[in-house]
Structure 1
Amino acid sequence: MPSSRQVVLVWLLLAGFVLPCAGADVPSPEAHLGYRPGADFHLAAWPAVVDYFREVDEASDRVLVRNLGESTEGRPYIVAVVSSSETIKDLPKYQQFQRRLSHPGLTATTETPDPVAESKPVVVITCSIHSTETASTLMAMELLHELASKDDPATRAILDSTILLLVPSANPDGVDKVAHWYERSKGHPWEGSGLPELYHKYAGHDTNRDWFMLNLKETRLLTQLLYQEWMPTILYDVHQMGSRGARLFVPPFYDPINPNLDARIHQSIFMIGAHMAGDLAAAGKQGVLTNAMYDNWWNGGNRTTPQRHNIVAVLTEAASVRMASPIFLERGDLSGGSRGFRDHAPTVNFVDPWPGGWWRLRDIVDYELICARSILTLAASYRQTFQTNLQAMARNATRKGENEPPFAWVVPRNQRDPGTASELVRILHASGIEVRRATQPFQADGVSYEAGAWILPAAQPYRSHLKDMMERQVYPSRFTAGGVPETPYDVAGWTLPLQMGVQVSAVGTRFSADSEPLERIELIQGQRSGESAPKYFALGNQANDDFVVVNALLDAGVIVKVNEASGHLSFPADAQAEAVLSRVLPTVSSQLIGHANDPSPKLSRELRRGRIGVYQPWDSSMDEGWTRLVLEKFRIPYTTLHNAEIRAGGLKERIETLVIASIEPRTLSQGYSEGQTEPKYVGGLGPEGAAALRAFVEAGGTLVCLENSCDYAITEFALPVVNVLKGVKSSRFYAPGSIVRVTRTGTSSLTRGVSSELSAYFDHSLAFDVPENVQRPGKVGLRYAGKNLLESGWLLGPEVIQGKAALVEFNIGPGRVVLFGFPPQHRGQPHGTFRLLFNSFYREEDPSGQPPK
């Protein structure tokens, strides 16, 4: 549907009005802001950015600004479509060309124009996904003005031969948070630093780690634009890095490369990087680094996930300033020290080092503006090459899926957690993956599947992404010259079915099945079965959604019992329960069974869930943010507690469970130091906080520690347990972001509803030795597998943790401390271990008055 502005333009033309020249009356960013973008000590808040983009939209027929939706905290998420005025008037035609290029199997007639000949490369530029990397939003304002107002040959070539989708920030909330904090910080020792909150409500820096999981609203909005609406040719993600290395990194990337990517992606990245580097050199810009630090292995970033969708996606990383405050660096302050960049001397990938001096926000804007125009100029000059490659990659992916195993992946509906299975399929579908539903029972690889099973055919244009999500990663062992493991960029393994605990079968032989394509994935809805007029209901207590039902029941005062033998839950089918079920059951996947009698008259205990607190340090923690997101997703209420609220004591009067996310012990105890932030945010828990936590547990509270915070609890509570990885060198044991197998040990309320074996995410995590012959022995709920430990990624020295404890609880009086050696809620991805965290919020009480479990 055309926008109202497009309709107005058509009306004006039909009425005989002459549109003004594009450059006339286009406001400059400097006139709008009152300073030039990149000026020292100036950042633009998000409303000023949005207002400027809309002003340019009104003034120029080359620009059309769209609001894609709202950010997490309700700010507009905008994109500017920029091209020639003729193209802007006919955007649906060019969208259709992109669709046909990216999905060549779509029906075409002999009269249909050749999309390669008629289309224009669609280039997406995304800015400031990391909001303390402040320059690119300002660069976007200047780029928009240049393209909307200039008529020089270089600008005309870009407008006539490309379509730009310019996203001034992929995290609008963060732009505001950082701009306002920077104003507060100016003139203080912490100027340009010390932000006491995440610059995204949940993810902070991990906004750029969500591109296959789609937990965040911002990710979902851009994903819709990329894979459902525009199917672009090229994506440029603009970033900043530390201050003391190169002035700018441009592609190509460092080894290793992901084997699922088409060779055209890698070669096109070389081409783009070389063009950027050449344009930067021509402009006299020094300190440009290539082929270092950033590899092309992992999936989940705003440049890496699009590459699996046949989009040539790149990033640049500029040296940072202190938000908008300039810095001065002597030559001796500059260093290398990372993969492919060992020192600050001239090399083949670092030909012209920057000599030092003042480095300003405007310098970053200049470098990034050169790169943005460079990529647009290249796309215009090699229009047909890029568009031909887009079509060829899609055809090649489909052909491989037709001729090479696996030919498909099948996701049965009958799962331990059917809601999570449907969520996995929904995520893939939202990422552009074709999903089919079996309309009849069928067989594949000799296995029988019921009607309703989801089929994910490999023969589709986005096969690279599907394969990369479903298969197990085997990261190549890489070491430095000194024998130390070479650190991958981000993670080594991410296999989605393993993380989510979903049964999926790869089909290695050709098969046939009656099926239908799905336009949308309907999440499995809760159902009732069994007695038509039950006296009791039973809940399997295996699905994550079951916690939504249980919490609603407990909040309504319904007595819920757990069977100690089976782990199943039961509750009376009375009016109170019915009121809850009629409201909640349609929104979840839980399956209820009605019974004429109490299904657990014996061996049962009452389930209790007290008030939950989540500790939030002022030295902000992304893991804490993800913890909040997961709790909110499953409607688990909590209260956020800061240092002062814990140091004040009396915690047991306010909460029953306190969760401390994966936070380093030093940060927990000390927090920000004097001069690093505003005085009211200085400090950590300190001795008073540690004493308050001990008093809380001794009064009957539950302290849940995730990953790194376990070391803090071990010390402060003098727990008889040893983190066997503490102080171990990486040459002996190394596991960078991988998936490992864990096994259930004995019976524990912490492992209710989980299978005997499950997958856990392990990222420089912990493993425990738990002595048995001590006064307060810990109860082990999970151990790392004794053999076949690694499931996806890279693991050096598995024998160091094989058989060691992964989940332990210690009873201290009526209270307890729970230690998770791994992060069960990591980035909102491992749905298969969410249940373990949720279980820790509940106590099981014997109705006869026995102490809680």
Structure 2
Amino acid sequence: MIRVLRSVTVVLLLSSRLAQAQTLPSPKEHFGFNIGDNYQLATYTQTEAYFKKLAASDRTKLVDIGPTEEGRRQFMMIVSSPANLKKLDRYKEISQKLARAENLTDEQARALAEEGKAIVWIDGGLHATETVGTHQLIETAWQLVSRKDPETMRILDQVVILLTHANPDGQEIVTNWYMREPKPEKRSLENLPKLYQKYVGHDNNRDFFIMNMKESQNIGRQLFVEWIPQIMYNHHQRGPAGSVLAGPPYRDPFNYVFDPMMVTGIDALGAAMYNRLNAENKPGFTRLNGASFSTWYNGGLRTTTHFHNMIGLLTEIIGGPTPEDVPLVPQRLIPNGATPSPVTPQKWTFKQSIDYSLSLNYAVLDYAARHRDELLFNIYHMGKNAIDHGSHDYWTLSPKRVDAINQAYRNDQRKLTSNEAPNSANTAASDPMGWSNRNAGIHVKYYDSVMRAPALRDPRGYIISADQPDFPTTVGFINALIKTGLVVHKATADFSVAGKKYPAGSYVIKTNQSFRPHLLDMFEPQDHPNDFQYPGGPPIRPYDAAGWTLAYQMGVRFDRLLDDFNGPFQRIPYGELQSPKGEVKAASSVAGYVLTPRSNYSFTAANDLLKAGVDVFRVSGGTATKGGVEPGAFFVPAGAKAKSVLDKSAADLGLEITGVAQRPATLTKVAPMRIALWDTYGGSMPSGWVRWLMEQYHFPIQVIYPQDIDAGDLRKKYDVIVFVTRAIPPVGGQDNNERGFGGREPKAEETPAEYRPWLGKITADKSIPQLKQFMEAGGSVVTIGSSTNLAYHLGLPVKNALVEMTNTGQTRPLPSEKYYIPGSILRVNVDSTNQAAWGMPAQSDVYFDASPVFKLAPDAIASGKVKPLAWFATDKPLRSGWAWGQSYLQDGVAAFVAPVGSGKLYAFGPEITFRAQAHSTFKFLFNQLYTNSGPRALASDTE
């Protein structure tokens, strides 16, 4: 009887699974077309519905990982064998344990690696106009769910696959735009009217060490806290002209904090990927210097995983729903180490790109299946190395260390007579590879003088005191670390380290943890090499930024400890975000409340007070000494409504608000400005970041377009207009407006009526006169980055500081062989007594990306025509990144304010709002966003 029941059960299960398989629709059955058909794209609405149908398979589990910025749901589909899906929690636990490498022996790690399954992340659609990424994800899901060949079954048995949609909103926007044209041959991805991510468009791939956007937060939690996969594969496009795709391994430089096994792991996966393409007669894969992609930068979806010991993969492929041509690029027809199998010119279809992507996915998954235990053990081994390096004295090699070794040698050479000098140094200089003399080199003592110098050791940890100028922003930095899976401790009591006292509530981050590369990258300066095409030649542009140290960008004050230390430290659970505790400190009788101008969130509280109808003032005098009220502080007269709003601000924002018994002597009443923010057809990413910032800090804004400016009467509508970089063109130059990634601006008749008001550009003949009239009538204009060109249009007494004189007596911009500063962090001096810089320290770190620098006319300051706000006081302002020829910056003005009629122009050369990361310079913008009625007494003021 039991046998009969078992047989019946087996038959029923088999019948159930067969019926289930028959009900799973193919893409053609669901969408009405095959994935890869020309002129066909799926919307996210359709894709979500399809994934929900595939979720009926016993090979899948569909997980909602959170909301998007537009309110859709973001999904991750987990695919594996039915048996593995029943043990997902265990396999996730094993992946976490091995990646974190805490309290494990090698034997225990090997046992876990043997038990576990390889975890592989594959995403698509981050950049929504790169339509191959989204659609290969759909096709891959279908293939893994429906195929029964031995390779697929082996993959399902050995691998847990995380198929993650990276940008649902973007797929909906892009597909609707493309498919709006009824005639297929007329469909185009060009001229998308807005960004394909609500705020930041393409910059959604520059958000992964701070995770401002909701999609980044959703993805980051899965990558760095929940699953910590050994391999992640990030699909992009497009490949370099003349090739089909660019992929791993990538060109130098790679970041010096990496474990070498991560780098060689990329090599191994890259070999598996291009070998498979070659075996399938799919040419056109290029790598290394065949493309621009490197592993230097942190912050991208793929690149941030590198700093977590994951093998992060990127491919950039050609193709799209509209057929195209592989162009003829003769130099790419010669096989070489970068492109072993060139592709010939030909017509290229969407289906070919989907097929290539599927092959690449299967190459990665097959490698993971065959090397499952090795991948699991290797990520543990890298984590263990990191813990070991953070537990002992360790010195990280980098260009500045090599320069120091060479300098130590040169110093000694100067002390020697010419006949005493060894020849090995000359040999080393002329033959750096050491091929001509196997004994070439210099004495090891020079290595020891640098790489064993106690003061040059890597830190054992960092202490972030709770006594910060802007503690709520500092907690935001702590949360960025926690969101990326780092171990953070919090002091439960006051303590002392190395003779310095710290209060309870301070944060401690030690470097003896598995994600040490990422931790160092957030605190330590990046030391980008001097990377030139040839000696004396032009520089090679970094893939993205050269320096980005987040602690510097956010203005966090920290102590860097070179020796181990302990104290009353409580470990924060992985992924548990922190909330600063604020309070309103007040005696029984107060005249009002003071909010420090040093905290960015004081501006949020002030905006909430103004919205509630509460009077708000700023202290225009005073002192910053202990017990004094510093200039720029917000003062709020006592009252029931004010107290209610302030209590909420203290609780929600973590602000410490102080009640004072006497009103400050010199006060200026403020009111919210009518703020306009420039944007353009196609969307400006810097403008989108500022729009997001304005929402976060509760500033009311209105987005305007060039047509709004050209229409005039600006002063009747606005008090201040903000122009981010690439809005104002140069004098006499070509239009420099940023466009989205969809191409040139379309003609009005080709544009849907709802988007036509967004068309246009800032011009010298129409727009600049209107802006001048606006300022002359009392309005303010804030310009950032290249939009400081407006100063030249207005004829202000400023010049470009970064020029040289030619033999003909003409000036020209400094050539890149002499001066080149890609995205890096520099130090400036600040006039913090000026209202425009209230709350800023006397020195500040700024994000600088080939930014404008000014030289003032001799009488400009004395006559009051220009007031410098920030300037370069030294010839070595570099803090993090790469600054070739930085001495040219000395005494250059980075920011200034100038009167224009009754109004003002504010010019900020550095990117003061850069990607919503540069918190330390947000106040350069925030201070300009209030009107004032001048000094006034408060005796008659009521709430």
Same fold (TM over 0.5): yes
Match of 2:315 in 1: 316
User: Is 1:644–2:717 an aligned residue pair?
Assistant: no
Equivalent of 1:276 in 260, 273, 276: 273
Q: Which digits, 9 at most, give the CA deviation of each residue in 1:657-681, with x for residues without a partner?
A: 1111111525567975455962835
Corresponding residue for residue 898 of structure 2:
810
CA 674–207 in structure 1, closer or farther in 2 if over 3 Å, else same = closer
Whether the 8 Å contact between 2:618 and 2:670 is mirrored in structure 1 is yes
Asked if structure 1 preserves the Cα contact closer than 8 Å seen for 2:826 and 2:845, the reply is yes
CA contact (8 A) 2:478 2:578 kept: no
2:792/2:798 contact within 8 Å kept: no
Which range moved further: 65-74 or 682-691? 682-691
Contact conserved, 1:327 with 1:359, CA < 8 A, in 2?
yes
Distance 1:44 1:573, change over 3 A: same
Contact 1:542 1:754 in 2 (8 A): yes
Counterpart position of 2:888: 800
In structure 2, give the amino acid aligned to 1:356: P
Q: Which of 33, 36, 51 pairs up with 1:35?
A: 33
Residues 102 and 673 of structure 1, relative CA distance in 2, 3 Å threshold:
closer
Q: Please identify, of 825-834 and 447-456, the stretch whose mean Cα deviation from structure 2 is larger.
A: 447-456
Report what 1:70 is aligned to.
67
Task: Tell me the equivalent position of 1:678.
Answer: 751
Residue segments in structure 1 that go unaligned for 5+ positions in a row:
1-11, 337-342
1:6 match: none
- What residue identity is the alignment partner of 2:28? E
Instruction: Report the Cα distance in structure 2 between the residues aligned to 1:524 and 1:17, rounded to whole angstroms.
Output: 54
Determine if the alignment matches structure 1 residue 723 to structure 2 residue 786: no
Paired residue type of 2:587: E
Structure-2 change in CA distance of 1:613 and 1:668 (3 Å): farther
* Counterpart residue number, 2:167: 171
Give the whole-Å Cα distance in 2 for the aligned partners of 1:179 and 1:788. 49
Aligned to 2:350: 361
Tell which deviates more after alignment, 202-211 or 531-540: 531-540
Gaps of 5+ in 2: 1-7, 394-457, 623-629, 804-812, 938-943
Deviation at 1:408, TM superposition (A): 1.0
| Structure 2 match to 1:470 | 523
Q: 1:535 to 1:226 in 2, by over 3 A?
A: same
- Name the SS for the 2:459 alignment partner: coil
Assess if the C-alpha contact under 8 Å between 1:436 and 1:515 holds in 2. Answer: yes
Contact 1:100 1:106 in 2 (8 A): no
* Counterpart for residue 482 of structure 2: 429
Q: Which residue of 1 aligns with 2:305?
A: 306
Matches within 5 A, 1:112-127: 114-127=111-124
Q: Is contact 2:584-2:647 (8 Å) kept?
A: no
Instruction: Pick the structure with greater CA Rg.
Output: 2
Equivalent position of 2:581 in the other structure: 525
CA separation of 1:668 and 1:479: change in aligned 2, threshold 3 A: closer
CA distance in 2, matches of 1:278, 1:476: 32
Contact 1:26 1:56 in 2 (8 A): yes
Task: Say whether residues 1:635 and 2:698 are aligned partners.
Answer: yes
Task: With the length of structure 2 as denominator, give the TM-score of the two structures.
Answer: 0.84
How large is the Cα RMSD of the aligned pairs? 2.4
Question: Could you tell me which of 359, 363, 372 is aligned with 1:370?
Answer: 359
Structure-2 separation of matches of 1:532 and 1:25: 72
**Structure 1 partner of 2:857:** 771
Give the partner amino acid of 1:826: F
* Matching residue's letter, 1:28: S
Alignment of 1:568-647 (within 5 A): 568-598=633-663, 600-601=664-665, 603-647=666-710
Aligned partners of 2:187 and 2:903: how far apart in 1?
40
1:700 maps to 2:757: no
Match for residue 386 of structure 1 among 356, 364, 375: 375
**Residues 1:107 and 1:378: Cα distance change in structure 2 (over 3 Å):** closer
Amino acid at match of 2:480: I
* Count of residues in correspondence between the two structures: 823
1:131 corresponds in structure 2 to: 128
Distance 1:165 1:13, change over 3 A: farther
Rounded to whole Å, the distance in 2 between the matches of 1:390 and 1:440 is: 36
Whole-Å Cα distance in 2 between the matches of residues 373 and 311 of structure 1? 18
Q: Confirm or deny that 1:545 pairs with 2:544.
A: no
Question: In the alignment, is the contact (CA less than 8 A) between 1:619 and 1:667 conserved in 2?
Answer: no
Are positions 1:453 and 2:506 aligned together? yes
Tell me the alpha carbon deviations over residues 87-132 of structure 1, each in whole angstroms, 9 at most, x when there is no partner.
Answer: 1122111111112212232589999993111101000001111111
C-alpha contact 1:287 1:350 (8 A) present in aligned 2: yes
Match of 2:400 in 1: none
What's the CA shift for 1:201?
Answer: 1.1
Q: Which residue of 1 aligns with 2:51?
A: 53
Distance in 2 (CA, whole Å) between partners of 1:670 and 1:452 is 44
Structure 1 letter corresponding to 2:173? K
Cα displacement (A) at 1:746: 6.8
CA contact (8 A) 2:707 2:759 kept: no
Shift of 1:398: 1.3
Post-superposition offset of 1:472: 0.9
Structure 1 residue 580 displacement after superposition: 2.0
Residue 178 of structure 1 aligns with an amino acid whose one-letter code is V
CA–CA distance in 1 between the matches of 2:106 and 2:936?
A: 77
Q: Tell me if 1:492 matches 2:570.
A: no
Residue 607 of structure 1: how far off its partner (Å):
2.7
Q: 1:670 to 1:98 in 2, by over 3 A?
A: closer
Partner in structure 1 of residue 234 of structure 2: 237
Shift of 1:564: 2.6
Q: For the Cα contact (< 8 Å) 1:82–1:147, is it kept in 2?
A: yes
C-alpha deviation, 1:772, in angstroms: 4.2
Report SS of the residue matched to 1:250.
strand
Cα distance in 2 for partners of 1:24, 1:48 equals 20
- Structure 2 vs 1, CA of residues 762 and 20 (structure 1 numbering), >3 Å: closer, same or farther? same
Partner of 1:620, secondary structure, is: coil
Shift of 1:451: 2.3
Distance 1:44 1:433 in 2: 38
Task: Please give the alpha-carbon distance, in whole angstroms, between the structure 2 residues aligned to 1:667 and 1:640.
Answer: 20
Q: Closer, same or farther in 2 for the Cα pair 1:813/1:392, shift >3 Å? A: same
Other structure's SS at 2:96 match: helix
Instruction: Give the Cα separation in 1 of the matches to 2:597 and 2:10.
Output: 65
What letter is aligned with 2:651?
P
Partner AA of 2:484 in structure 1: S
Shift of 1:246: 1.7
Match of 1:740 in 2: 826
- 1:376-410 per-position Cα deviation (integer Å, ceiling 9, x unaligned): 00000111111110111121211211113411111
Q: 2:468 aligns with which of 411, 415, 427?
A: 415
Equivalent position SS for 2:904: strand
